[in-house]
Every structure is written in C-alpha cells, then in structure tokens.
Structure 1
Amino acid sequence: MKGSDTEVNLAVNLAERFTKLDPNFNIAISGGGSGLGITSLMNGQADIANSSRPLSDEEKEQFKALNIDVKTVVFAEDATAFVVHKDLPLEEIDVETLGKILSGEIKNWSEVANFELPINIYGRQSSSGTHSFVKKKLKIEFSNTAKEMTGNAQILEGVKADKTGLGYVGAGYVAHDPSASQGVKILKIKENDAIGPVSPLDQTAINKGIYFFQRPLYQFILAKSWEKVRPFINFERSDLGRKLISDHGYYILENQKNEI
C-alpha cells in the first residue's frame, strides 16, 4: 500500500490491528503522496494506492492504455484544515480571501486583519492529493512563493515556528493527535453569508456536508490483487475498523457498513 500522506497514519493503525486478527496477512505501507501511490499501481509496485483525490482523466487513460483494471473503494471522509501560528490574531477566514492568499494575490496579513506581517504559505508538493484538492476547490494556481513540504508533520512544524505562516493539513491528522496541533490554531472557514464560519473538527457540520473543504478518501486497488486485498477492505468496514477510522478523526460513511 502506497500513497496519500493524509491516510498513511490511519492505514498503518488499521493494518497493525488487522494483522493481529490475521497473522498470515502481510502488508507494507508507505506514504509519498496520492500521485506516487497511483503511479506505483501503474508500475506494479503496489496493490493498493491510498488517495485523497479521485483519479484524473489522464490517469484513467493511462490505466486503460496499460490494460490495468482498477477497483475503487471510498472508505472514509476527511476535511482539510487550515492552520496559522497560535499567536496570530485570527480565528476565521472566508473562502475568497483564502484563495487570494494561496494564489499570491494577497501577500500581507494587513489586507485581512489589523496587523502587518508578510504571509508565508506552507503547502504540499504537486504530487499531493491535498494540494490538488485545495487548488481545485478554490479554482486557483498556487503562488510560486509557497513552500512545498513533504507532509502534514512538516507543514505543522513550519507554521509553529513562523508567526506569519499559513498552512493546510488533514483534519484527521490533527484531531487524532492533539499534541501535533499544539502551537497552531485551526481556522474556521466561511463559505458565504448563508453558512457561518465552520470548523473542520465539527462532526455535525461534516455530517451535514457544509464544511467547504471536506472530501472522500479513496483506495484504488489492482483488480488482479482484489482477492488478497479484500479481507483487509472488509476489516475497514467492520465495526472495529470503523471505530479506528473515527478515532483517527476521520468521518464514517454510513452506507459503507457491509462486506464486499
């Protein structure tokens, strides 16, 4: 299993629990980003690709050209959290302003609130599904001054050390490990006047589908590997698997509770 850094900690925990139930099941897990996981499927270097985004049209064509059949499983839902330094006097931000910051149109916090500091952006590399998701949701191209980090932990460490920083991470990552979010503040996101500021950690809001940056999490599986992978997928859908997903701060899809 390779791919999304958003999903990697959860995947490791699920695998550890499942292999205790079935010691004959062996699985190796690594991150590197959704794009890397999908490429690993194409190259025969993985059976499962974790991805925080759907396959692109180009990737679908590549699988078709390689005559590779892929099954898709949506096993949870995640929200992307936007974080700033804990001392930055800001609690919420609207979608339009956020897009202008990440694209580089707004470069100083003075254009957002009553304090003057240059804005440093901490983001992900282009192979990241989270990078792609944020870019598509906001319909922007990222500023060329945005720092490209290798994962959630590196982004959080960057923002903790930078009072001017703004970064984005998987909400499940910070919800599962409160110590990871010490030193940063999770901003509430305001989509429009009809929907007030919403936190990515608000379970009720996620269930209602009103947080702007929520998304399904995917697992793409080689069809030829399906039979050996299926016991693990069914574990994810079991009561214990679903509890582990929830305990990690991700959101359960109620219609996914059945074996396949």
Structure 2
Amino acid sequence: MKRITVFVIVVIAMILTACTASGSDQTPPPSTYIQNKGSDTIVNLALAWAEEYQRLHPEVRISVTGGGSGTGITAMISGTVDIANASRQIKEEEMQAALANGIEPVEHVVARDAIAVIVHPQNPVNQLTIDQISLIYQGVINNWQEVGGENRPIVRLSRETNSGTHVYFLEEVIRKGDHNNKAIFSADTLLLPSSEGIIAEVSDNPNAIGYDGLGYVTEHVKVLAIGTQPQGPFVLPSIETVNSGAYPISRDLYMYTRRDAPPLVGEYLNWILSPQAQDIVSRLGFVPIVTLSAGN
C-alpha cells in the first residue's frame, strides 16, 4: 500500500513539473518599459506614436502622460522618466539642475507646430498683427472695436504657466522675441490647464481670444490670419505656411533624453524620426520635419 502511495505522489509531481515547464514556454518575455512624460501639446502625438510602435514591437510598453513641458523636464532631471516631451527648449537653469544631478540632457526635434490664434466663429475679426496680439494680451487693447471688431470686451485666455506653449507665446508673441522685453500677460488673463480647455472656452464665448497648437484646433473656433506688418501679408497656419516660413508663430517640438539612456530609447527616437512616424505627425495636424517627410 505504501509503494502505491509513493508511486502516485511521484506521478503527480511529474505532472506538475511538466505543466510548469509547459507554462513557462508559453509565458512571453518580460516587457521593456519606456516612461514618457511632459508637454500637453505633444501628448496626443506621443500617444499615437506609442500605440503604433507597440503594435510593431509587442515586447515594448510605453507609458505616456502629460502635465506640461516643465513637469516632463523636471521628471527627467530627477531621473523618473526616460523621455521628456517639451513644446519649448530646455531652460538654462533646468540644464544646470540636470547636470548637477548627473544627467546630461540630449535634445531631439521630433516635429513642428504652429500656434493658432483663435476666436469665436461669430467674431467678425479675421486677422491680427503680432503687435496687436501683444497689446491685447498685455491689457493695452481691451475692446474688439479697437482692432476692427464689435464693441465688446476682450476676454483673454492662456495656458497655465507650466505649459511650454505659455512660455513660447510669452517670449515670442507678447515680447516679440526681444529678450530685453519684460512685458507679461495681463493680470485678468484666464489660465486654463489644457489645450482642449482653450478650444472649449473660445467656442462658447463670443468675446474670447485664445491660442493653441494647430493640432488641437477644431471647426468650433475660427483661426485668425497673422501678419508681422499692418499692411500684411496675413497668413493662416498650415503645414505649407510653417514649412515655408510664411506663418510667423511656429516652433519646434522636442523630446529630451539623458545621454546614457538605454539603447531601447534610442531605437524608439530613431523610429519617431522615420517617414512612417512622421506621417502620423501630419495626420494629427502637426508639421512633420521637412527633411524627413519631403518624400512622403
């Protein structure tokens, strides 16, 4: 009886061992993760890239979150993300903080973007100069009648201060690229936490003016033509006008990595700069990098 019991135990053990071995053969290799965080302007584009790359490389997992350019760069400085998305260049103080923490940031231009100045569709104003936009956001021009519109107060909308789009608009539009200019947003400017929030508010408020990345613009708002001189020309944002330099409010979009990033991060960045990934850029309303997309 004891021999039978021992035999049964041995057989059960062999079965369990075989099942375990068989199960291990079917277990996929552990996924490799890339942590990607930052600019809300880029977040939808980064999500589309991540989704396509994971389809091509199922063994890779990419986490994409927003929060603003400053948030992403801060996370890279602290070493908690692999890639920081930014709609502005890294600041000197951020660079120094990274180096002090043993991290050497590397800049990658991954796409371009136009900043569209938007109003409610019923607003009769169709165009503005950079000077007029600057004066509006400084609080010098306060009524639409002053720029050819109706007798209505102007409601100014902006992204929050941690946004790279906010920083770019302040430096390149309100201050007109003059580093000695200390102009700031009017104190009554309403700060909104997202690009979608800007679109929603402008579409609901006939008195509002806002700005947003071209990829976020919908048919529920009107995009203004922009000029650098009162006599024009006044140009609408598009892939063509950004690439030709005709549209005056455009910028590069960035990803920042650390110099000693894992090889997988470099492989992903190389793919982002490929024609296949740059085609996603144009499909989402952003501007592909010319030298890489000219043949598409």
Question: Residue 226 of structure 1: CA displacement?
Answer: 4.1
Larger radius of gyration: 2
Contact 2:125 2:149 (8 Å CA) reproduced: no
Following the alignment from structure 1 to structure 2, what is the Cα–Cα distance between the partners of residues 40 and 209?
33
The equivalent of 1:158 in structure 2 is: 201
Question: Residue 95 of structure 1: CA displacement?
Answer: 0.6
The equivalent of 1:220 in structure 2 is: 256
SS in 2 for 1:211: coil
Gaps of 5+ in 1: 175-180
| TM-score (structure 2 length as normaliser) | 0.81
Contact 2:159 2:193 (8 Å CA) reproduced: yes
| 1:207 partnered with 2:250 | no
Give 1:246's aligned amino acid: S
Alignment partner of 1:230 out of 266, 269, 279: 266
How well do the aligned residues superpose, as a CA RMSD in angstroms? 1.4
Following the alignment from structure 2 to structure 1, what is the Cα–Cα distance between the partners of residues 283 and 240?
16
Report percent identity of matched pairs. Answer: 33
| TM-score (structure 1 length as normaliser) | 0.92
Deviation track 1:64-96 (CA, whole Å, cap 9, x = no partner) reads 222211111101111100110010111111110
Contact 1:75 1:256 (8 Å CA) reproduced: no
Question: Residue 129 of structure 1: CA displacement?
Answer: 0.5
User: Higher relative contact order by CA 8 Å / sep ≥ 6: 1 or 2?
Assistant: 1
Give 1:59's aligned amino acid: E
Following the alignment from structure 1 to structure 2, what is the Cα–Cα distance between the partners of residues 114 and 64?
50
Alignment partner of 1:82 out of 93, 105, 117: 117
SS in 2 for 1:115: coil
Question: Residue 193 of structure 1: CA displacement?
Answer: 5.2
Contact 1:72 1:218 (8 Å CA) reproduced: yes
Alignment partner of 2:226 out of 168, 189, 192: 189
Gaps of 5+ in 2: 1-35, 176-182
Distance 1:184 1:251, change over 3 A: same
Which stretches of structure 1, 4 residues or more, deviate above 4 A after TM superposition? Answer: none
Following the alignment from structure 2 to structure 1, what is the Cα–Cα distance between the partners of residues 262 and 244?
33
Distance 1:48 1:114, change over 3 A: closer
| 1:108 partnered with 2:108 | no
SS in 1 for 2:111: strand
Contact 1:121 1:167 (8 Å CA) reproduced: yes
Contact 2:136 2:142 (8 Å CA) reproduced: yes
Contact 1:10 1:248 (8 Å CA) reproduced: yes
Deviation track 1:182-215 (CA, whole Å, cap 9, x = no partner) reads 32100110112575111112x3221111211111
Question: Residue 128 of structure 1: CA displacement?
Answer: 0.5
Contact 2:278 2:289 (8 Å CA) reproduced: no
